[in-house]
């Protein structure tokens, strides 16, 4: 391993560490899963312990999109726009059965999983998921961020 490779590997590790513990999330909340989100976000379960405590209400300042609840076809363009407005690097969590797969709704109105609209990194099942499940999903996302190829300004692109 050359000296340069060693340095960039260290840099990637440091970047991953920094990014996984400073997730600014944007809550895209449409339904009852929002209660579990609030519970996970507030003092009892406290996602701030995992570095994801800063909720941003502008997608331009966020790097984690939490899609919490049912997304209908009427809402689909809005979700797509919000995702497009977020800056790289960005991650998406599908929170709850409806966001994962449409859940109990199989009809003309509901999108059958938000992965048909935006790419999803972590799926959290449950109707609604317990806050512990949410924290588990968050930790899985942190593992993913730590181990993925980091993108940074002068990174060599393939």
Partner 1 sequence: MGPETLIDAIRTKLGPAVEGVADSCGDPVLILRSDSVRASMAALREAPFDYAVLLDLTCVDFAAPEGRLELVYHLFSLSRNVRLRLKASLPAADPAVETLVGLWKNAEWLEREVFDMFGVRFEGHPYLRRILTYEGFEGHPLRKTYPWRLAQPRIPLKDGE
Q: Residue numbers of the site for partner 1 (CB under 8 A)?
A: 73-74, 76-77, 80, 106-109, 111-112, 115-117
CB closer to partner 1, 108 vs 154: 108
Minimum CB distance to partner 1, residue 109 (Å): 7
- Name the DSSP class of 8: H
CB closer to partner 1, 15 vs 94: 94
CB closer to partner 1, 115 vs 136: 115
Minimum CB distance to partner 1, residue 115 (Å): 7
CB closer to partner 1, 18 vs 119: 119
Minimum CB distance to partner 1, residue 35 (Å): 24
CA distances from 53 to 21, 119, 121, 138 (A): 10, 23, 19, 12
Q: Cis link prior to 128 (omega < 30° from 0)?
A: yes
Minimum CB distance to partner 1, residue 25 (Å): 24
Would you say 129 and 95 are in contact if contact means Cβ atoms under 8 Å apart? yes
CA-closest candidate to residue 114, choices 73, 63, 142, 143: 73
Query: For the chain, how big is the Rg over CA atoms in Å?
Result: 17
Would you say 28 and 66 are in contact if contact means Cβ atoms under 8 Å apart? yes
């Amino acid at each position: 391993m050359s000296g340069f490779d060693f340095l960039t590997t260290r840099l990637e590790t440091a970047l991953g560490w920094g990014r996984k513990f400073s997730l600014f999330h944007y809550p895209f909340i449409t339904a009852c899963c929002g209660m579990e989100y609030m519970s996970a976000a507030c003092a009892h379960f406290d996602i701030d312990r995992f570095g994801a405590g800063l909720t941003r209400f502008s997608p331009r300042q966020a790097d984690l999109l939490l899609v919490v609840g049912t997304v209908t076809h009427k809402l689909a363009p809005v979700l797509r726009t919000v995702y497009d407005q977020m800056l790289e690097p960005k991650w998406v969590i599908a929170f709850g059965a409806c966001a994962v797969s449409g859940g109990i709704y199989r009809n003309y109105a509901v999108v059958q999983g938000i992965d048909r609209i935006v790419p999803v990194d972590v799926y959290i099942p449950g109707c609604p998921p317990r806050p512990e499940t949410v924290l588990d999903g968050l930790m899985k996302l942190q593992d993913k961020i730590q181990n993925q190829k980091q993108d940074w300004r002068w990174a060599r692109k393939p």
